[in-house]
Structure 1
């Protein structure tokens, strides 16, 4: 993964001598590179336990760079990074989902990593290209404001007990949304006083990402909801929830399929992001039996899964330790670190089969499970991003809820929501 032309030590000396022209100065640069340094690492939109921080970040770093100490800065709120700007206390590294990178870019926080990549001769060619392109969509001139370090994986979890009770064959890799809707009709049954739900879904943004649908036109700044792609997404959700008996009573629960799968145990199929192992351990303790199949694809896009959902690392411009911070990131993207992390549950970001084969190798929970389902689909191509996507996402999410549970026809829902979204965007532009 890394390509250190003439070696790290020689490279540092040569680079410094080129700028300052002296052997003694070069020795000083080499010495400074190995001086003990503590880097603060801020997890912007999620929490990590001390065990996770040690396993995935500290241990691989200290093994490669014993002089670098990582300090966990826990997230206390969604706007904490804004307070850090005011108090001049931004960290050396920020870890966040790349879908949330807009906040940092708009605040002009991240360093363009291209120069550090060039300086340290780091080869990113094995990093998933879709994830790199997704990050570059936040840039104006090819800047790279984050390096993705792990993908979020998606699959279809299924309750083997429900299939066995109802005598329906288990799902297979490669099935489409139409296939799953057909299965759901067979599995949405009331038997022995229990209402079984054939298919439940999670968050709103999974399906539109499969079709690479923009929320807002990047050229016009207008909502894009009245398109065939978005119509397809809304109709797919409606078809699934119109299966008699498959709809939960309250609209507010439309996006909470995981709870019904894990807690109620009456859901047959639940396609979504990989679940925390803790949830599945409790599921098994209560007698539940499960496995996974590939995430369903749209029939017109066979083997195309969910888009880029990845965690990445950025380096704020204010960091005084950019070179050391980048070494940490580069090391976490090494084949050795990615393979070890994969064994413990990280979906590797490297497109290398010999790294991916280690996924969940240390997990007793996934032993004997169809782990290859996580790799079955390709990532969908990134969609064009705009600064108004959050506004559109909020409007579209509520519109789908109203469509599934309301009485308005699809044309009316799409038209009214698009109009409301454009008004909200115009109001934001006027600020």
Structure 2
């Protein structure tokens, strides 16, 4: 009996243990399955300042991310009057990711709503050395702290001098060439500014005067004195260069983009790379413009130096509850395949590898046969110091330039008045 009891007990014990082991294995397997299939994550991306079309968002962000991480979806939220950073933040609905230009990045940082990516870069071993150093430096400068990184480059907004070949052909004048200074381009503009059969032709719409100042690293504000610096020799220099273009008899074009793209009576237009999309649209519509481009005009004292580095960035908001998933989006967008597709579509990559320059614009019909090399002959100027007080000073520049153009004030008087007004507003903001 003892033997039989022992046998029964042993069998039962074996069955119980086996059952427990089976349940444990199933439980463990179930847990492992959950780990292998993460919970779905829905991220929102807020577009403000920097432009991105619906098609670009789909092809360069949403689809590549979902292909690599099926559980992550990204939706686009565009900035509107009702969807400003302040209103979204106060309502607790600021998106997870930010697609922005330098001004917007500073704006969100002022609200203390953008995340420092330094730790995420370190923990994921994200390789910043792949990027051109000036792009990372620009983001750190715009963030106001060289030890913090508030974004990763999405693309670099380049500048070139676009020109209408038909106008130069019509008047028998030579096309502009690479390496021209502002004075040389202004002289060329005089040759093609005229009126024929009641049709005005304008030689050149100058660049924004502050953009020209950026080429020479001329700031509007001194953070040490907390004063505007609009009466410096540098500002006199760029105001005079800008005024020289407007002083050409008959050269008073209105909206430069309309004059160049639609009216087609503007010979030269110094502008950003974003214009390529509009030129491509004209091509697709069957009304292509006979255009080409050369390197952006420079100043003799700063040869090969273009406009300030204008990096469009992807950032993560400090309010996001999905920071790790959001950084995965940044990683995917920074991968080779996505970067190559981006450059193929006419967006300049911030990555060093020459292959990105070689593939630039290959997907755009309007760029076939164009002087694409002009884009890469100019080095962007280093970004100037910028904060909310420098923005106050810079806000006076356009008004001062308009007074000069209209003959309401000479350059010295206009800049002196602008500086005085800026200092009053800066003082009020400091004491607020």
What TM-score range do you get, normalising by the shorter chain? 0.7 to 0.9
Task: Report the equivalent of 2:8.
Answer: none
Q: Structure 2 residue aligned with 1:42, among 42, 46, 49?
A: 46
Deviation above 6 Å: which 4+ runs of structure 1?
27-30
Aligned to 2:75, what secondary structure does the other structure show? strand
Where does residue 329 of structure 1 map in the other structure? 330
- Find out whether 1:271 has 2:270 as its counterpart: yes
Partner of 2:44, secondary structure, is strand
Asked whether the 8 Å contact 1:97–1:309 carries over to 2, the reply is yes
1:305-330, CA deviations, whole angstroms, 9 ceiling, x for partnerless residues?
11111211111112121111112112
Larger CA deviation: 27-36 vs 111-120: 27-36
Secondary structure in structure 1 of the residue aligned to 2:307:
coil
Match of 1:149 among 149, 154, 169: 154
Out of 183, 190, 193, the residue aligned to residue 188 of structure 1 is 193
How many Å separate the matches in 2 of 1:166 and 1:189? Answer: 10
Q: Name whichever of 387-396 and 71-80 sits farther off.
A: 71-80
| Structure of higher CA gyration radius | 2
Query: Matched residue pairs, number?
Result: 400
Provide the alpha-carbon RMSD of the alignment. 2.3
CA contact (8 A) 1:277 1:365 kept: no
Contact 2:309/2:381 (<8 A) preserved: yes
SS in 2 for 1:125: helix
SS of the residue corresponding to residue 100 of structure 2 reads: strand
CA contact (8 A) 1:44 1:78 kept: no
CA pair 384-45 structure 1, distance change in 2 beyond 3 A: closer
Partner of 2:175: 170
SS at match of 2:413: helix
Structure-2 separation of matches of 1:91 and 1:281: 31
Cα distance in 2 for partners of 1:270, 1:52 equals: 25
Residue 64 of structure 2 corresponds to residue 64 of structure 1: no
The structure richer in helix per residue is 2
1:213-235 CA-to-partner distances (Å, cap 9, x unmatched) read 22211212111111222112101
CA contact (8 A) 2:204 2:266 kept: yes
Aligned to 1:232: 237
**What residue in structure 1 maps to residue 259 of structure 2?**
260
Q: What does residue 417 of structure 2 align with?
A: 416
Higher mean Cα deviation, 276-285 or 378-387?
276-285
Per-residue deviation, 1:287:
6.1
Provide, for residues 99-135 of structure 1, a one-character-per-residue CA deviation record: whole Å limited to 9, x for no partner.
3222111100011100100010111112232222222
Q: Kindly tell me: are residues 277 and 427 of structure 1, through their superposed partners in 2, closer, same or farther at Cα, counting changes over 3 Å? A: same
State the 1:165 CA deviation: 0.8
1:419 Cα deviation from its structure 2 partner: 0.9
- SS in structure 2 opposite 1:226? coil
Equivalents in 2 of 1:351, 1:262: separation in Å? 32
Q: Are 1:128 and 1:349, in contact at CA under 8 Å, matched by a contact in 2?
A: yes
TM-score (norm 2): 0.87
Partner Cα separation in structure 2 for residue 66 and residue 48 of structure 1: 23
Q: 1:159 aligns with which of 164, 177, 186?
A: 164
User: Which residue number corresponds to residue 11 of structure 2?
Assistant: none
Q: State the alpha-carbon separation in 2 of the partners of residues 204 and 196 from structure 1.
A: 22
Match of 1:55 among 59, 63, 67: 59
Deviating more after overlay: 330-339 vs 103-112 = 330-339
C-alpha separation between the residues in 2 aligned to 1:102 and 1:78?
Answer: 20
| Counterpart residue number, 1:372 | 373
- Asked whether the 8 Å contact 1:47–1:74 carries over to 2, the reply is no
Alignment of 1:79-98 (within 5 A): 80-98=84-102
- Alignment check: 8 A CA contact 1:198 1:268 kept: yes
Task: Using the TM superposition, give the Cα deviation of residue 427 of structure 1 relative to its aligned residue in structure 2, in angstroms.
Answer: 1.4
**Structure 1 equivalent of residue 344 of structure 2:** 343
Q: For 2:277 and 2:139, how far apart are their aligned partners in 1? A: 28
Tell me the SS of whatever aligns to 1:122.
coil
- Mapped contact 2:139–2:149 kept (Cα < 8 A): yes
Q: Does the 8 A contact of 1:56 with 1:341 survive in 2?
A: yes
* Higher deviation after alignment, 153-162 or 204-213: 204-213
- For 1:15, the equivalent position in structure 2 comes to none
Give 3-state SS (helix, strand or coil) of 1:91's partner: coil
Are the aligned partners of 2:138 and 2:311 in contact in 1 as well (CA < 8 Å)? no
User: Contact 1:223/1:421 (CA < 8 Å) preserved in 2?
Assistant: yes
Pair 1:131–1:259, CA change in 2 (3 A): same
Question: Quick one: distance in 1 between partners of 2:317 and 2:257?
Answer: 35
**TM-score, normalised via structure 1 length:** 0.87
Residue segments in structure 2 that go unaligned for 5+ positions in a row:
1-27
Q: 1:281 to 1:390 in 2, by over 3 A?
A: same
